[in-house]
Amino acid sequence: MTHYVKAWILALGLILTPAAASAQDAQPEAAATEEVAEATDAAASPSGLDPALYVPMKPTPGVGMPVQGGIDFQPQVSATGKQAKWINNAILLPIITVISLFVLALLFWVMIRYRRGANPEPSKTTHNTFIEIVWTVIPVLILLVIAVPSISLLAKQFEPAPEDALTVKITGYQWYWGYSYPDNGDFEIISNMLPEDEAKARGEPFQLAVDNRMVIPVGKPIKMLVTGADVIHSFALPAAWFKLDAVPGRINEKVMQIDEVGVYYGQCSELCGARHGFMPITVEVLPEDKFNDWVRANGGTVSGDETETDDGGEEAAETAEVAAAETTDGAAADAAAAAN
């Protein structure tokens, strides 16, 4: 009897061993398949959104970002930025250069002409009416030349937003940014700096690349509502000549309009704590249709979609009413026929 029991146990062991081995082999294969699928999804859509609707744009080297050895402002992509850069290059720099060279030449002339060897007895002159008038009038004229375009630029930067402007609320946190879109369903995007390996994999500059970008349409005024959640931050985008403080308990407003499609980088420009240097800003500017796709990919709403939905709802309601009326008429006819 004992031999029979041992034989049965041995037979069952031989039968179950291949199944267990197959199951163990299948687990790594399944895990490997899942990892490959995840890697494929990540490669297809780095942003985590539907790649059929949105794929992050590649930045253009040297545009919208600092460059090695750069001494000038970044290429400007907004009207105010272009005007400000023109004022700097066409008015301020020439005036600064001329004044600096004049003062340097005057200094050398005084050092040589009025040295002790050439003037054993120094002059006792104390007043010169002509020179005093000149050094008063000329600086006033220089300040007027600078003031007229500068005041015009300041006024232009703080003009109120037009009625068709897109509203974006920007909130500074320690130490990341949040972007809300009240006009598109009020969804919020949280933006954090990417690790170095992920930034390089995406072809973006480290410490400027983020996981989720602020996306806006090209050529459209954006009403920027900027505030802070904890301490004072500052939203700065050099290529658009835009900078506005994010103050807790206060909403600062300013209009930004970028007229060229592309990716533009900035940083928090107000000391806000230990990781102040790790609060990058990435703004992606897209054509209107692609911006709408990005909004849909994030679960937001587009004005045209709402109209189509309303029209579809009205048509469906009308169809349902017609069907109900036809059903009622048919039922009445059937009842009359049954009575006859």
- pLDDT digit string, tens, across residues 46-71: 656 788 889 999 999 989 999 998 88
| Burial annotation 59-83 (CB, 10 A radius, 16+ → b, else e) | beeebbbeeeeeeeebbbbbebbeb
- Reported as a pLDDT band with limits 50, 70 and 90, residue 215 is very high
| pLDDT tens-place string over residues 268-307 | 999 999 999 999 999 999 999 999 999 999 999 998 775 5
Residues 6+ apart with CB under 8 A from 197: none
Burial class (CB in 10 A: 0-12, 13-18, 19+), 230: middle
Q: What is the pLDDT of residue 318?
A: 60
Tokens for 198? 């992920």
**Average pLDDT score over the chain:** 82
pTM over 0.85: no
Quote the pLDDT of residue 118: 82
Q: Label residue 319 by pLDDT band (50, 70, 90).
A: low
Res. 100 pLDDT band, cuts 50 70 90: very high
- Supply the pLDDT for residue 35: 45
Tens digit of each residue's pLDDT (9 = 90 or more) over 102-141: 999 999 998 998 888 888 888 787 888 998 999 999 999 9
pLDDT of 213 > 90? The answer is: yes
Task: Return the pLDDT at 9.
Answer: 60
Task: Give 65-99 pLDDT, tens digit per residue.
Answer: 999 988 899 999 999 999 999 999 999 999 999 99
> What pLDDT does 335 receive?
47
Q: Which of 14-28, 103-117, 179-193 is predicted least confidently?
A: 14-28
Mean pLDDT computed over 259-271: 96
Which segment of 117-121, 157-161, 215-219, 335-339 scores lowest on mean pLDDT?
Answer: 335-339
Checking if the pLDDT of 225 tops 60, the result is: yes
Instruction: Provide the greatest CA pair distance for the chain.
Output: 142
Quote the pLDDT of residue 10.
Answer: 55
Lowest pLDDT segment from 8-12, 125-129, 159-163 = 8-12
Residue 235 phi, psi dihedral angles, 5° rounding: -90, 115
Instruction: Note the residue count of the chain.
Output: 340
Say which residues have a Cβ less than 8 Å from residue 148's Cβ, sequence separation at least 6: none
- pLDDT of res. 340: 43
More confident call, 334 vs 177: 177
Is the model's pLDDT at 12 over the cut of 70? no
